[in-house]
Amino acid sequence: MMQLDALFERLKFEYLPDQLEAVCEHAAKRRLDYPDFLSKALETEWAGRNRQGIESRMRQARFPAVKTLEQFDFDFQPSIDRQVVRNLAGLSFVERAENVVLLGPPGVGKSHLAIALGVKAIEAGHRVEFQTLDQMMTRLKRAREENRLDRTLKQLTYPKLLIVDEIGYLPLSRDEASLFFRLVNRRYERASMILTSNKSFADWGEVFGEQVIATAILDRLLHHATTINIKGESYRLKEKRRAGLLKSNPSPGATPPNPPSNAEKEEQADLA
Ligand code: ADP
Ligand code: MG
């Protein structure tokens, strides 16, 4: 028989060798039969590889922060149907190359939910990429200047899920809008996108410079899509209000020291 170490090396087992002793102990204690022991050992190796894959895909995704569905307080945002989000978390939209659009004012959790769904997709083994629309435009324009737009558009079809955040904060020129259209068109019915916007679809004409391109973009995006329209208060504002209340400890019924109008101004400053 070949030496175990040599077999591990040839089979490129990276995680089981270090855990073998523990796995054997476990098997002895539980009196596992041979097939169960083998399952346990292979599962140990697989778990290590999977963990490494998740870590590397998380790095590739370039999330600005890691957010999870478990961290999301649905009670705070009752306009969101949690069943819809739960269904999305099952990721059949990714399998079917469908899109998700999250609409709503600043601070209601659009980016949080987009990232959280991205994390789920990564855990399920999919490649994910996150970009703001602004970053995406910079990338596409640079690629065109350097005569490699086609290659870049092709690369942008590789991730199973592409998240484009913050549509609507900065209006696009006609030229930029047609670049974005090319991206949407490339991914259409091939791979999923999650888009977030503070503007309703009716205002996308303004965002994309003109109605014709906006209509063409929406036509493809929404053909197979789930739209979540979040109508509610900013979570950032809530946290600020609460911080204000806690600091001064007002008597019941007193006006908070941080009136909403001020907090709202801060919210705007946050965005800048
Ligand atoms: P948006 O993208 O809609 O402007 P974000 O997703 O960036 O808002 O949310 C703002 C901040 O508040 C983030 O730190 C986010 O994690 C947090 N947040 C928003 N909504 C919730 C919520 N319902 N539960 C927990 N955290 C939330
Ligand atoms: Mg956001």
Q: Does one domain contain both 101 and 210? A: yes
What digits encode the pLDDT tens for the residues 171-224?
999 999 999 999 999 999 999 999 999 999 999 999 999 899 999 999 999 999
Domain membership of residue 111 (yes or no) is yes
CATH code of the domain covering residue 78: 3.40.50.300
**For residue 111, what are the domain limits?**
69-229
Domain membership of residue 235 (yes or no) is no
Domain membership of residue 170 (yes or no) is yes
Q: Does one domain contain both 77 and 127? A: yes
Q: Does one domain contain both 49 and 155? A: no
Cβ proximity of 47 and 15 under 8 Å:
yes
CA distance 164 to 111: 9
CA distance 182 to 112: 27
CA distance 245 to 250: 7
Residue 146 DSSP label:
T
Residue 2 DSSP label:
-
What digits encode the pLDDT tens for the residues 219-267?
999 999 999 999 999 998 887 777 776 554 444 444 444 444 444 444 4
Q: Does one domain contain both 14 and 109? A: no
Domain membership of residue 220 (yes or no) is yes
E runs forming strands in the chain: 99-103, 128-132, 161-167, 192-197, 225-229
Dump the DSSP string for 169-184: SSPPPHHHHHHHHHHH
Q: Does one domain contain both 218 and 83? A: yes
Ligand 1: lining residues by beta carbon, under 6 Å: 67, 71-73, 76-77, 104, 106-112, 235-236
Q: The whole model's pTM is what?
A: 0.84
Q: Does one domain contain both 52 and 18? A: yes
Cβ burial, residue 107 (10 Å; 0-12/13-18/19+)? buried
Ligand in closest contact with the CA of 270: 1
Ligand in closest contact with the CA of 132: 2
